[in-house]
């Protein structure tokens, strides 16, 4: 007993020695920044001092990772990274902002909401740097964290961001597939607005200018404040040789946006298509565009460095030798508790083996029902595939009530049909053909369903059978 107390006391001393002064103050600053954030304000901009927030971030960063976890400071540190990273973005320092956001991803916090926000900001920076694939990957991580946290609205925003990055890469079909999934799941007006903008971008990048114009006008009709539909209208009309319309919308973009990228594109149209300007007017617009291009070149250089930081972090193989000291403390405590938990674990294994035996018998019964009543080559008749209500009744009867259980978790019809075909052991390509889904998007659908069910794509079929035999 004395030895155990000594180990715990030693651990406490080591933690205290590694904690810099001012941790309580730093946590108070982070809490205040959280409060302002919830009120729609930003610490260091609307209220509070930016230097104070920077110091709070540095104070928490100075605590070695194992001790930060032991003291329960992972989440405050992640929040500090988020607030300070946003502040650096506002200060137009994307390199420093990216580094701070990367630090937030290594905070070991289990706050999925703040991680979703951090990865979304990283996706924004990659998008601005025109690294659309990297941006897609960051937005996907962001969306997954939002889904794990139950933030369905933010999850749909994340999916739209992913669709937009696909549109930027000219992958129109994959982009529209994701947008269709969103539209089948929500009618929230703000989501519909941004979906219209993404559709207009997808058609514009595929040189389908009439469709791009249609969806841009739809977006404007929904009272969007974004200038992106205006720019797409200007560019589309320019490519269609409708110069009056092109210059009209380009002028609107110039008067409304502060985006260097949008200004550069709008000013280009005005230099090429505006027949109302004399030679001096054209020279002035060209000079304005030249100034914008110089600023844009500088910013793109910084953004490129920011994405390089992210690539280095993703490719970096972490060395844990410095972590050994803290880990040894955990090992000591583990040794002390090992005998107690060994016996308990063995008992749990015996009980689990018995439960698994019962579950396997129940699963075999479902497989037998499927083989007896459902012909996988003729599910249209044996499972009434085209009539959802009848299909649900058959699937519930022969597959352990699986449809009703999936509906209770708020899966939509497409996702439920995917799950049924997975239980019937259809390959992914055949599932895509059966539910009329894009072959390139079927893996994304499977991953999204797995996240909703809190399992993995590799274990989805086993999970569904376990779910079917559960009471």
- What pLDDT does residue 134 have? 92
Q: What per-residue confidence (pLDDT) applies to 166?
A: 95
Cα dist from 264 to 128, 190, 385, whole Å: 14, 28, 53
pLDDT confidence of residue 346: 60
Q: In Å, what is the CA distance from 90 to each residue of 40, 43, 85, 102, 115? A: 15, 11, 9, 17, 19
Q: What is the pLDDT of residue 155?
A: 95
Q: What is the pLDDT of residues 55-88, one digit of tens each?
A: 988 988 887 766 666 566 778 889 999 999 999 9
Both tokens of residue 187?
């009618």
Checking if the pLDDT of 357 tops 80, the result is no
Average pLDDT, the chain: 84
Answer for the pair 231, 237: CB distance below 8 angstroms, yes or no.
Answer: no
Backbone angles phi, psi at 43, to 5 degrees: -65, 135
Question: Residues 288-321: pLDDT tens digits?
Answer: 888 888 888 888 899 999 999 888 888 865 555 5
More confident residue, 96 or 187: 96
- Residue 359 pLDDT exceeds 70: no
Contact 52, 74 (CB under 8 A): no
Alpha-carbon dihedral of residues 358, 359, 365, 371, nearest 10 degrees? -150
Q: What is the pLDDT of residue 149?
A: 92
- Of 73-87, 357-371, 444-458, the one with minimum mean pLDDT is 357-371
- Give CA–CA dist 231/193, Å, rounded: 16
* DSSP state for residue 62 in the 8-state scheme: T
Nearest to 142 by CA among 165, 162, 125, 127: 162
Tell me what pLDDT residue 18 has.
44
Reply yes or no on whether the pLDDT at 458 is more than 70: yes
Q: How many CB atoms lie within 10 A of CB 211?
A: 17
Sign of CA dihedral 246, 248, 253, 254: positive
- The pLDDT score that the predictor gives to residue 257 is 87
138-142: average pLDDT: 95
Residues paired with residue 47 on neighbouring β-strands, in sequence order: 43
pLDDT (0 to 100) of residue 344: 54
Q: Which two tokens stand for residue 150?
A: 């139950």
Q: Residue 175 pLDDT > 90, yes or no?
A: yes
pTM, two decimals, is: 0.64
Distance between CA atoms of 279 and 172, rounded to whole angstroms?
Answer: 40
CA 106 to chain centre: 17
Q: Which has more confidence, 289 or 342?
A: 289
Is there a contact between 399 and 416 (Cβ–Cβ < 8 Å)?
no
Q: What is the mean pLDDT of residues 201-207?
A: 94
CA distance 134 to 125: 10
Per-residue pLDDT tens over the stretch 93-130 = 999 999 999 999 988 888 999 999 999 999 999 999 99
For 241, residues 6+ apart whose C-beta sits below 8 A from its C-beta are none
Q: Is the pLDDT of residue 450 over 60?
A: yes
Nearest to 470 by CA among 406, 386, 421: 406
DSSP of 174-238: HHHHHHHHHHTT---HHHHHHHHHHHHHHHHHTT-HHHHHHHHHHHHHTT---SHHHHHHHHHHH
User: How many helices and strands (H and E) does the chain possess?
Assistant: 24, 0
Three-class SS state of 294: helix
Each residue of 238-285: pLDDT tens digit? Answer: 999 999 999 999 999 999 888 888 998 888 888 887 777 777 777 888
Rounded to an integer, the average pLDDT of 158-181 is 94
7 within 8 A of 332, measured Cβ to Cβ: yes
Q: Quick one: how far is CA 315 from the chain centroid?
A: 20
Q: Is the model's pLDDT at 21 over the cut of 90? A: no
Among 158-162, 185-189, 256-260, 276-280, name the one with the lowest average pLDDT: 276-280
> How confident is the model over 209-229, as a mean pLDDT?
89
pLDDT in tens, 398-418: 888 999 999 998 899 999 999
Q: Which residue has the tokens 């103050």?
A: 25
Nearest Cα to 262, choosing from 289, 225, 224, 302? 289
């Amino acid at each position: 007993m004395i030895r155990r107390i000594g180990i715990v006391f030693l651990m406490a001393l080591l933690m205290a020695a590694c904690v810099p002064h001012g941790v309580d103050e730093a946590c108070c600053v982070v809490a205040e920044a959280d409060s302002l954030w919830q009120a729609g304000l930003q610490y260091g901009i609307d209220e509070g001092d930016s230097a104070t927030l920077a110091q709070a971030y540095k104070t928490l960063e100075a605590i070695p990772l194992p001790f930060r976890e032991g003291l329960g400071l992972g989440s405050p540190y992640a929040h500090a990274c988020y607030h300070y990273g946003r502040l650096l973005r506002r200060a137009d320092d994307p390199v420093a902002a990216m580094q701070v956001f990367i630090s937030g991803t290594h905070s070991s916090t289990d706050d999925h909401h703040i991680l979703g926000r951090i990865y979304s900001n990283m996706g924004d920076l990659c998008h601005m740097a025109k690294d659309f694939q990297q941006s897609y990957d960051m937005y996907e991580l962001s969306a997954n964290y939002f889904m794990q946290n139950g933030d369905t609205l933010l999850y749909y925003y994340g999916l739209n961001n992913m669709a937009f990055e696909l549109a930027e890469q000219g992958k129109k079909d994959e982009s529209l597939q994701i947008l269709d999934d969103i539209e089948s799941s929500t009618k929230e007006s703000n989501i519909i607005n941004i979906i219209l903008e993404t559709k207009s971008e997808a058609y514009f990048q595929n040189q389908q200018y009439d469709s791009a114009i249609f969806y841009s006008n739809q977006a404007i009709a929904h009272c969007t404040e974004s200038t992106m539909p205006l720019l797409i209208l200007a560019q589309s009309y320019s490519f269609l040789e409708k110069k009056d319309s092109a210059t009209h919308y380009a002028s609107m973009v110039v008067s409304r946006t502060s985006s260097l990228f949008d200004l550069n594109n709008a000013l280009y149209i005005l230099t090429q298509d505006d027949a109302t300007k004399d030679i001096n007017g054209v020279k002035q617009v060209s000079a304005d565009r030249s100034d914008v291009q110089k600023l844009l070149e500088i910013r793109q250089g910084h953004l490129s460095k920011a994405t390089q930081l992210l690539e280095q972090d993703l490719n970096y193989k972490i060395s844990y030798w410095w972590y050994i000291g803290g880990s040894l403390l955990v090992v000591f405590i583990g040794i002390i508790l090992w005998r107690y938990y060994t016996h308990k674990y063995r008992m749990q294994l015996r009980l689990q083996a018995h439960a698994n035996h019962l579950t396997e018998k129940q699963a075999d019964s479902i497989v037998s029902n499927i083989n007896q009543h459902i012909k996988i080559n003729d599910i249209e008749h044996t499972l009434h595939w085209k009539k959802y209500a009848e299909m649900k009744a058959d699937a519930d009867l022969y597959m352990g009530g699986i449809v009703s259980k999936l509906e209770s978790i708020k899966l939509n019809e497409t996702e439920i049909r995917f799950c049924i075909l997975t239980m019937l052991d259809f390959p992914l390509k055949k599932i895509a053909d059966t539910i009329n889904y894009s072959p390139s998007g079927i893996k994304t659908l499977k991953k999204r369903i797995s996240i909703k069910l809190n399992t993995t794509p590799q274990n989805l079929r086993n999970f569904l059978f376990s779910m079917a035999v559960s009471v």
